[in-house]
């Protein structure tokens, strides 16, 4: 999913890597996106989720997050409602793919992160999943505070805001409360957590180690070992423009730029 404006280099490279696997790739857009790689099918994002939801996700207390948080949280809702519409597996546009893979459309498909949670970058739910129902009920509420938040943020933090007479919105309660955090809590609530794929499938280099993408370190195992399917490029630093020669990202630029 992408809002108005051109794709970043990392997104163009990763989308091209998805196309190269032979798997069908659809990019849902809101507005004009002029530099979409060849082989990517474009669809109107409003077919899945009306863009008007963005206006309900604007933080009030944390004004420094206004420029980016609504889009981030909207994308968390979008990937869930994509499952409701039968749109297939969600991949973030910054997932570099190494090989094609299949998943059972009757089973959840998500991946465990290094911190023990559930990643949002690779995500699939059957259309009748109870997790989708949780979001369907939430989006009909006037208050978008999710019932899966822990007590501290669901009750105590709003109480502090009110006691200090600080205006706030649900989006001020947490960046990932509709995404990674939600998926972890809801997967446990509905006894689906143990279905998570092992971390190495898409998050082998995570956190600080993700910088290895741009360094001259061994990486050919990603392509030769069937256990590794793709890699979420979490660290989108300046190194993405000028990686070390012989690095994984240098190879990706040679393949797909």
Across the chain, where does the E strand assignment appear?
2-3, 26-30, 41-44, 90-91, 95-97, 109-112, 118-124, 230-232
Query: Is the pLDDT assigned to residue 237 strictly greater than 80?
Result: no
Which domains does the chain carry? 2-256 (3.90.550)
**What confidence score (pLDDT) does residue 241 get?**
82
Of 10, 186, 3, the closest CA to residue 78 belongs to: 3
Find out whether 148 and 111 touch, Cβ atoms under 8 Å.
Answer: no
CA angle 25, 47, 9 (to 5 degrees): 40
Least confident of 87-101, 187-201, 212-226, 231-245: 231-245
CA dist 90 and 177 (Å) reads 18
Q: Please state, as a whole number, how many other Cβ atoms lie within 10 Å of the Cβ of residue 100.
A: 11
The whole-number average pLDDT for the span 199-222 is 95
Q: What percent of the chain has pLDDT above 90?
A: 93
Q: Enter the tokens of residue 133.
A: 């129902």
Judged against a pLDDT cut of 90, whether residue 82 lies above it is answered with yes
What is the C-alpha to C-alpha distance for residues 70 and 125, in angstroms, rounded to an integer?
23
Strands (E), 66-194: 90-91, 95-97, 109-112, 118-124
Q: Can you give the pTM of this predicted structure?
A: 0.95
User: How far is C-alpha 82 from the geometric centre of its chain's CA atoms?
Assistant: 12
Q: Which of the four pLDDT bands, split at 50, 70 and 90, describes residue 239? A: low
């Amino acid at each position: 999913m992408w809002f108005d404006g051109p794709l970043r280099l990392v997104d163009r490279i990763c989308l091209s890597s998805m196309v190269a696997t032979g798997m069908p790739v659809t990019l849902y857009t809101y507005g004009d996106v002029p530099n979409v790689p060849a082989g990517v099918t474009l669809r109107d994002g409003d077919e899945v989720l009306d863009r008007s939801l963005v206006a309900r996700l604007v933080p009030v207390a944390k004004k420094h997050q206004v420029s980016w948080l609504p889009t981030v949280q909207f994308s968390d809702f979008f990937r869930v409602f994509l499952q409701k519409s039968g749109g297939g597996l969600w991949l973030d546009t910054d997932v570099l793919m190494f090989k094609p893979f299949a998943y059972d459309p009757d089973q959840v498909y998500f991946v465990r992160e290094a911190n023990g949670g559930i990643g949002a970058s690779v995500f699939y739910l059957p259309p009748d999943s109870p997790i989708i129902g949780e979001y369907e009920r939430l989006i009909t509420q006037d208050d978008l505070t999710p019932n899966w938040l822990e007590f501290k943020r669901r009750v105590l933090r709003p109480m502090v805001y009110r006691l200090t007479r600080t205006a706030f919105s649900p989006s001020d309660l947490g960046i990932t409360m509709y995404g990674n955090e939600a998926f972890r809590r809801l997967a446990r609530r509905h006894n689906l957590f143990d279905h998570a794929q092992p971390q190495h499938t898409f998050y082998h280099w995570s956190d600080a180690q993700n910088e290895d993408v741009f360094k001259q370190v061994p990486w050919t195992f990603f392509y030769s070992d069937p256990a590794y399917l793709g890699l979420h490029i979490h660290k989108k630093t300046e190194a993405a423009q000028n990686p070390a020669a012989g690095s994984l990202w240098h190879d990706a630029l040679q393949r797909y730029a």
